[in-house]
Amino acid sequence: MGLKAVHFGGGNIGRGFVAEKLHLAGYEVVFVDVMDSIIDQLQKTKEYTVTEIGAEGEKVNTITNYRAINSKTHEEDVIKEIASADLVTCAVGPNVLKFIAPVIAKAIDQRTEPKPIAVIACENAIGATDTLAGFIKDSKNTPQDRLSSINDRARFANSAIDRIVPGQKPDAGLNVEIESFYEWVVDKTPFAEHGHPDVSAIKWVDDLNPYIERKLFTVNTGHAAAAYYGYARGKKTVDEALSDSDINKLVHDCLGETSNLIVKKHGISTDEQKAYVEKIIKRISNPYLKDVVERVGRAPLRKLSRKERFVGPASQLAESGDKVDALLGAIEQAFGFVDVEGDEESAELSKILKSNGAKDVVGKVCGLEESHPLFDKILPIVEKVQKSVK
C-alpha cells in the first residue's frame, strides 16, 4: 500500500503548497473541506497545475493522485481515511483548528496501525500543531482514559511554513500560481524511534523556535507592514508599495527592530539576519506576484493579536527596554485597516474601535495588560485612530 496523507483545507495554500509537496514526495492526498464548491471541483477534476513564479521564470507542476471528501456530509469517510493514513496536515487558518479537531480525534482513537500517524498543522501561527493537539486531547473529543496511550496512535509536530500565494486569476479554477521560494520546517523530535515522514521538501530540525520567530517576525511582519502602509497611501500591490522609497524605509525600519530581537534571542549572527531581511524584501517586492494590499492586510484582528507579527516582537522588545518606534508605526497602520470590502475582521475592528474605550481596545485586540511596558505605547495610537474612524 502506498503512502497516504489526509489534508484539511482545499484552499490555495493547501492545493498549491502542502499538497504539491506531498504529491511530489509520492503521497496520495485526500483533501478534506466543508466548502461544497471546492470539494465538487476536486472530485470532478483529475488534475490541476501549480505554477511556481520567480525571477528566473515559471515552472509548472501537474498534481494528480488525489481524492476529496466533504467532512460536513461524509464524516465517517474522513475518519476511515485518517485511521489508515501516514500523515495528517492542515491549512485552514488558526481559528478553524478547533472545528477540525473532533473528527481527527475520532480517527486517531480508532487507529490500529503499528506506526503512529504524523499530525502537522501548516498555519501562519506559532505552535499551531500544539494548539490543534490541545483541541484533539480535550475531554470533549478524546476519552480521558485514552490520553495516556495517544502517543502510540499519533505524534504531533509543530511547523513553520513560508511561501507567498498571491491573489489568483478569476478563471483559475483549481490551478494555483505561487512563488517559487518556499520553506517548510518541522520539529523532528516528537517522532523519536519511529522516524519522521519521508517528505523531501521538509527541513527537519531539533529546535523549531528560531525558525518560527525568524519567519513570523521577518516575512509576516514585513509583508503586512508593506500592505498596511501601501493601503493607507493608495498603493494597489505590495511591490508597488515597496517601490515607494518612504514605505521601503519604514518596512526596513520595522525589520531592523525585529532583527534586533531575533539576533539577541536566537544567536543568529547580525550579518546572517541582515541578508535574510534583504532576501525577504526582494521576495515580497516581486512584481510577478501582483500581491494586492487588501489581500495581504486582511484579518487585522489576528495580525494585531498578542503573539502575532507586530505585538509579538514589540512586546518582547519593550520588556527589555529596546526601541519599538517602527513597529508602533506599523501597528498604527494596521489599526487603520477598517471597513475593507470583503474582510470581516476589518469590519469587526471598526466596531471595536467605535464601541470601546482606548484601554479596552488595547486589551481586547492586542491582549496586553495595563502593566505591560508596551500598553502605554499603543494606547495613544488607538486614541488617535479612534478620532479618525467614523
Catalytic residues: 215
Q: Which segments of the chain does DSSP mark as H helices, in order?
A: 12-13, 19-24, 36-44, 75-83, 97-110, 128-137, 209-215, 221-232, 238-242, 245-266, 270-284, 293-297, 300-303, 311-319, 325-335, 344-355, 358-366, 375-388
Long-range contacts of 203-211 (CB under 8 A, 24+ apart): 208/158, 208/159, 208/160, 209/266, 210/262, 210/266, 210/267, 210/268, 211/160, 211/183, 211/185
Cβ count within 10 A of residue 205? 16
Q: What are phi and psi of 57, to 5 degrees?
A: 120, -160
Rounded to whole angstroms, the Cα distance separating 291 from 347 reads 22
Write out the three cell numbers for 180: 517559487
Would you say 165 and 14 are in contact if contact means Cβ atoms under 8 Å apart?
no
Q: Which segments of 73-220 does DSSP mark as H helices, in order?
A: 75-83, 97-110, 128-137, 209-215
Q: What are phi and psi of 239, to 5 degrees?
A: -65, -35
Q: What are phi and psi of 110, to 5 degrees?
A: -90, -5
Would you say 176 and 48 are in contact if contact means Cβ atoms under 8 Å apart?
yes
Rounded to whole angstroms, the Cα distance separating 331 from 228 reads 9
Rounded to whole angstroms, the Cα distance separating 301 from 338 reads 10
Instruction: Report CA torsion sign: 67, 69, 74, 80.
Output: positive
Residues in the chain: 390
4's enclosing H/E stretch is strand 4-8
> C-alpha angle 6/204/128, rounded to 5°?
55
Longest dimension (CA), the chain: 63
What are the CA-CA distances from residue 210 to residues 41, 214, 320 (Å)?
39, 6, 18
